[in-house]
């Protein structure tokens, strides 16, 4: 990944927490990198005015021009004022990260990356459910889905299997199938907590077809209004959408 893609990934929220920490450390310790980030932010404002399909190309051209101008001598001149530059960059980061609109898909990607990479296991358990969960946690998602489906075939009311099949389908980007499973979860009215709606909203946000973001927003509003499972997450997402 080149510097441009690396910087772009940071502001799109595509880095995990440890990668974000490394990125922010480079701002303080590497003046050339700090200058590149400052260039990104200033050029991004210009790029916003370009049509979506031309934005990346225009941005790369401007970035290359700026990078050529910043010679080693220029970097040396920047070093004495690095602390001030870092402080200014920090302020810009705060404004950019917390003020700029975040897309529904970006929120979904971050949640899936941070919360759904593994399923909870039961120590010592060796039943078919645990075997399927182990496959999921080993990133053998296709095999895991088949295992969860076999459990559902023999026990159609198995809520955990339905939920896990939905999450696995989501990870496999089988969005329509994931929605079907999450809607099946909705029929289990006997449960005290049921994340059916938050998972439906997440799937719509990730799929990002026409109208999906608005449907997801309606579900999130229902979750917060009715104090349903996932209320805290739904509230945070609504603040950013």
- 3-class secondary structure per residue, 55-101: HHHHHHHHHHHHHHHCCHHHHHHHHHHHHHHHHHHHHHHHHHHHHCC
Do 32 and 140 fall within a single domain?
no
Is residue 212 domain-shared with residue 158, that is, in the same domain?
yes
Residues 119 and 156 reside in one and the same domain: yes
pLDDT in tens, 216-241: 999 999 999 999 999 999 999 998 87
Same domain, 142 and 181: yes
pLDDT of 83 above 50: no
Q: Is pLDDT of 85 > 90? A: no
Q: Mean pLDDT over residues 47-62, rounded? A: 58
Of residues 167 and 85, more confidence is placed in 167
Q: What is the CATH number of the domain that holds 218?
A: 1.25.40.10
Angle (deg, nearest 10), helices 3-11 and 17-29: 120
Whether residue 209 is found in the same domain as residue 127: yes
Model pLDDT, residue 84:
46
pLDDT tens track for 123-134: 655 689 999 999
Q: Rounded distance, CA 22 to CA 136, Å?
A: 29
Reply yes or no on whether the pLDDT at 55 is more than 50. Answer: yes
46 and 114 share one domain:
no
DSSP 117: S
* 145 shares its domain with 227: yes
In this structure, of 24-28, 33-37, 78-82, 107-111, the range with the lowest mean pLDDT score is 78-82
- How many separate domains does the chain show? 2
Instruction: Choose the final residue of a domain: 100, 118, 136.
Output: 100
Name the domain boundary from 100, 126, 144: 100
Rounded CA-CA distance 147/132 in Å is 5
The answer on 177 and 68 residing in a single domain is: no
Buried b (16+ CB within 10 A) or exposed e, 91-119: eebeeeeeeeebebebbbbbbbeeeeeeb
Domain that holds residue 117: 109-240
Residue 47 and residue 158 in one domain: no
CA 197 vs CA 65, 120, 173: distances in Å: 48, 20, 18
Which among 47-51, 119-123, 202-206 has the top mean pLDDT? 202-206
């Amino acid at each position: 990944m080149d510097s441009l893609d690396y910087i772009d990934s940071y502001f799109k929220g595509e880095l995990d927490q440890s990668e974000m920490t490394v990125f922010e450390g480079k701002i303080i310790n590497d003046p050339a990198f700090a200058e590149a980030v400052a260039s990104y932010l200033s050029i991004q404002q210009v790029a916003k005015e370009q049509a979506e399909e031309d934005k990346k190309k225009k941005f790369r051209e401007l970035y290359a021009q700026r990078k050529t101008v910043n010679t080693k001598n220029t970097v040396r001149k920047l070093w004495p004022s690095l602390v001030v530059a870092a402080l200014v960059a920090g302020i810009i980061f705060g404004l950019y990260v917390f003020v700029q609109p975040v897309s529904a898909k970006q929120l979904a990607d971050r949640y899936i990356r941070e919360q759904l990479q593994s399923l909870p296991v039961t120590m010592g358990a060796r039943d078919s459910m645990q075997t399927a969960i182990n496959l999921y946690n080993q990133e053998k998602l296709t095999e895991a889905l088949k295992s969860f489906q076999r459990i559902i075939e023999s026990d159609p009311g198995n809520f955990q299997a339905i939920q896990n099949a939905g999450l696995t389908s989501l990870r496999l980007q089988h969005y329509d199938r994931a929605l079907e499973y999450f809607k099946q979860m909705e029929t289990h009215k006997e449960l005290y907590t049921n994340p059916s709606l938050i998972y439906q909203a997440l799937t719509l946000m990730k799929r990002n077809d026409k109208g999906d973001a608005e449907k997801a927003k309606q579900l999130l509003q229902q979750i917060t209004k009715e104090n349903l499972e996932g209320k805290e997450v739904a509230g945070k997402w609504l603040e950013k959408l």
